[in-house]
């Protein structure tokens, strides 16, 4: 669950962090590999979720 002190990122911010395109980020969200929340019509991704996603990919590659 997202806490009030946790930073929420926009899709373009996640795209820049992961160096991925918009379609791929939404694919990760749809497949539930990258958790997100919706606020009205805006999609937000917790920064912790992005860090966990990266850590998981590094662990899988090792």
CB atoms within 10 A of CB 14: 25
- Contact partners, residue 51, CB within 8 Å, separation at least 6: none
Return the pLDDT at 2: 52
Task: Kindly state the helix (H) or strand (E) to which residue 4 belongs, with its residue range.
Answer: none
Name the packing angle between helices 11-18 and 47-61 (round to 10°). Answer: 30
Residue 23, pLDDT > 70, answer yes
Mean pLDDT of the chain: 92
To the nearest whole percent, how much of the chain has pLDDT over 70?
90
Rounded distance, CA 55 to CA 28, Å? 15
Q: pLDDT band for 48, please (50, 70, 90 cuts).
A: very high
Average pLDDT of 20-29? 98
């Amino acid at each position: 669950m997202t806490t009030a002190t946790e930073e929420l990122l926009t899709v373009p911010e996640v795209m820049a962090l992961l160096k991925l395109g918009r379609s791929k980020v939404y694919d990760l969200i749809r497949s539930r590999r990258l958790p997100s929340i919706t606020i009205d019509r805006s999609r937000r991704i917790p920064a912790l979720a992005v860090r966990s996603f990266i850590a998981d990919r590094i662990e899988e590659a090792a």
